[in-house]
Amino acid sequence: MKPWQRDQLQRALEQRREVLMQELGGDELHVREGGGDLAQADLLRDQEELRDIEAARRRLEDGSYGICIDCGADIGFERLHAEPEAGRCIDCQRRHEKTYRR
């Protein structure tokens, strides 16, 4: 990955993290006010995405960002551009989703 690509993806992660932090505050308030199942689902989804972003930030720090956590192959820039928090290449992500469908 080229340095400018890494910088672009790091900025995208940071921007999404900031937005999520704001959304989580609203989600938590909505749940406390009795927002029901939809509010709880929003909160859980945003918490999970934040965990994925934090994991991606750690991979940026340790130099493993952009490398599939399952097979060790490079994750293409196009995939990371679309989903900067991705930890798996597209093939491994498909296998993971088939195996761990909710």
Taking only the tens place, the pLDDT of each residue in 2-52 is: 999 999 999 999 999 999 988 888 777 777 777 777 778 888 888 999 999
User: What is the rounded distance in angstroms from the CA atom of residue 17 to the CA atom of residue 52?
Assistant: 10
Taking only the tens place, the pLDDT of each residue in 34-44 is: 777 777 888 88
State whether residue 102 is helix, strand or coil.
coil
CATH number of the domain where residue 59 is located? 1.20.120.910
Say how many domains are in the chain. Answer: 1
Domain range for residue 48?
A: 3-99
The amino acid at residue 46 is D
The alpha-helical segments, DSSP class H, found in 1-102 are: 3-32, 36-62, 77-82, 90-99
Cβ(15)–Cβ(86) below 8 Å: no
The amino acid at residue 84 is P
Which residues lie below 8 Å from residue 77, measured CB to CB, with a gap of 6+?
1, 5
**The pTM of the whole model exceeds 0.75:** yes
